[in-house]
A and B are shown apart, each in its own frame.
Chain A
């Protein structure tokens, strides 16, 4: 009985591994090969000739890839920072307190993960025009908060549902001001949530296409927009090179924060008690 069970568990694990590799790693291999290929035609299994041409172009000043990379990093970092700033108090309110209309607030915060972004952005577009935020980087940062905030708030309310505010009372009683209490007591306690929620927020912002295109009006060219341009123009080799650059931050962040993503940290507990 036990042996049978462990066999099924093991085969499930192997199957999951195969599916994950097929989904996540395999699609990247042709992309990597394309970035070093000089012509790769059916039915060849590998390109006949190799070249660094695509990389030379992608890293040159004329392509604008590097500028776009810095812009995308800036926008994503700003959207992440704002998400953290909003996510901490929102998560605290939802995770720790009961109040009237709490369910409605939760629903509204989660709504962007259910409602298609394009439906929301058309309305925001007209609001942003009247506020002069269209075609600006700040407008793009603001609109990125729509998809990033639900993840941030969800993670932070999970953290605060398991948080004991008595530690703050203890710190105050020992002579800490409210700001010092937050810095020395609250912040270290909720740090795992900030890391995991911030990671989600960064990656969600990083991969925005429609929202950036509509609010940025084509003037704020982030990496996904640039990537799409080359992909539609048929330059598979350059698309491959930019694609490799595009996936790099995600992999780096994932490796750096892997230990916080394990369920044990409690940072991925969702709305906790709710």
Chain B
């Protein structure tokens, strides 16, 4: 129940010329789940530690509900950080681990026991209180770490790569658990990840950080439809970039003249569109139709990836395997690039 403001937060490690984090400014509304996304070493974890008070900033400010917390010690900030490797205290039982925060707050023992049992029920580990952390699986350890953080009802919850150590089938279970508990308790939550998929499935809004700088801070779908530049588009799996010139309505390039959606910029730039938005086997009535030659096809199980050539331009397309069953390498196909799926990036 805390609004978090980060104002021009900067961190320069001693002996390093480049800032690890360069003037990051973010507004994280009360109760929202926000992802800090970026490759490893981009300054995400540095940001989290500064919010938690575990690392001193070089300059800038962190405010909770418009009050600067820079002078608050980590144990008084009401922020709990869940580390990527969970850091369960190895010589304590699961119940003692979960109850640690309450014990530090001098909550009476019977109440600690009651609340530990309650929260272990919530994370679906009701019978494991007496176990040692080393006896648990990775997924169970993570749920214990989450319970240990949630039990103190923090104002702000920080999660470091919450899904990255889990198997594919556990990821969705954990995603639902984190989102469910977070929504229910209304805790402002920030998590960092290097995985755009993890960011998209879990977060309300995503802040992309590249090289210590904030690139774009938007709802997850905007990164796919309206990326701010080529680096952002590439980070989200964009493959198709065609140089040319836009007049705001039409883009002229080696692909010919293509109609643009509303709001596209004018001037020379790069046209981008996602591989899954290229329509194969287009008819004459479709928008922006082109002739392409199939250079390569790769069957990926639930989808088929086609490498297409239009003139000198190489394009990547992803299609439903059923729709492209009859197409083989060397074939010529009609493709369509719907105007709504196109976007122009500045040069």
**A interface list, Cβ under 8 A from B:** 164, 166-167, 169-177, 180, 184-185, 188-189
* CB–CB A175/B87 < 8 A: no
* CB–CB B148/A174 < 8 A: yes
B269 close to chain A: CB less than 8 A: no
Q: Kindly specify which of B2-10, B36-44, B100-108 makes contact with the partner chain.
A: B100-108
* Residues of chain A lying within 8 A (CB to CB) of residue B65: none
Nearest CB on B from A173, distance (A): 5
Q: Which of A171, A175, A189 contacts B105 (CB 8 A)?
A: A175
* CB–CB B52/A173 < 8 A: yes
The 8 A-B pairs at the shortest CB distance, nearest first, are namely A174-B101, A172-B74, A175-B104, A170-B87, A176-B104, A173-B81, A169-B54, A175-B75
* Residues of chain B lying within 8 A (CB to CB) of residue A188: 89, 91
B172 close to chain A: CB less than 8 A: no
Given A166-B87, A167-B89, A188-B91, do A173 and B80 touch, yes or no (CB 8 Å)?
A: yes
Q: Which of B75, B91, B105, B149 contacts A172 (CB 8 A)?
A: B75
Q: How large is the interface on B (under 10, 10 to 19, 20 to 34, 35 or more residues)?
A: 20 to 34
**A123 CA / B46 CA spacing, docked (Å):** 51
* CB–CB B100/A171 < 8 A: yes
Additional 15 contacts, C-beta under 8 A, given A169-B52, A173-B74, A184-B104: A169-B54, A169-B74, A171-B104, A172-B53, A172-B74, A172-B75, A173-B75, A173-B81, A174-B75, A174-B104, A174-B152, A175-B101, A175-B152, A177-B75, A188-B89
Nearest CB on A from B89, distance (A): 6
Nearest CB on B from A220, distance (A): 40
Given A166-B87, A169-B54, A171-B100, do A176 and B81 touch, yes or no (CB 8 Å)?
A: no
Nearest CB on A from B128, distance (A): 19
B308 close to chain A: CB less than 8 A: no
* CB–CB B104/A173 < 8 A: no
* CB–CB A172/B54 < 8 A: yes
Given A175-B75, A177-B75, do A170 and B83 touch, yes or no (CB 8 Å)?
A: yes
Nearest CB on B from A157, distance (A): 21
In the complex, which residue of chain B has the Cβ closest to the Cβ of A189?
B91
A-B contact pairs, 29 of them (CB 8 A): A164-B87, A167-B87, A167-B89, A169-B52, A169-B81, A170-B81, A170-B87, A171-B89, A172-B53, A172-B54, A172-B75, A173-B54, A173-B75, A173-B79, A173-B81, A174-B75, A174-B100, A174-B101, A174-B104, A174-B152, A175-B101, A175-B104, A175-B105, A176-B100, A176-B104, A184-B89, A184-B104, A185-B89, A188-B91
**A164 CA / B84 CA spacing, docked (Å):** 14
**A176 CA / B83 CA spacing, docked (Å):** 16
**B interface list, Cβ under 8 A from A:** 49, 52-54, 73-75, 79-81, 83, 85, 87, 89, 91, 100-101, 104-105, 148-149, 152
**A206 CA / B42 CA spacing, docked (Å):** 55
In the complex, which residue of chain A has the Cβ closest to the Cβ of B75?
A175
Nearest CB on A from B97, distance (A): 10
**A184 CA / B96 CA spacing, docked (Å):** 11
* Residues of chain A lying within 8 A (CB to CB) of residue B85: 166
Residue with the greatest number of chain B CB neighbours at <10 A, chosen from A167, A169, A170, A188: A170
Nearest CB on B from A230, distance (A): 47
In the complex, which residue of chain B has the Cβ closest to the Cβ of A174?
B101
**A175 CA / B152 CA spacing, docked (Å):** 9
**A185 CA / B92 CA spacing, docked (Å):** 10
* Residues of chain A lying within 8 A (CB to CB) of residue B87: 164, 166-167, 170
In the complex, which residue of chain B has the Cβ closest to the Cβ of A172?
B74
* CB–CB A174/B54 < 8 A: no
* Residues of chain B lying within 8 A (CB to CB) of residue A185: 89
Q: Which of A166, A172, A175, A184 contacts B83 (CB 8 A)?
A: A166
* Residues of chain A lying within 8 A (CB to CB) of residue B100: 171, 174, 176, 184
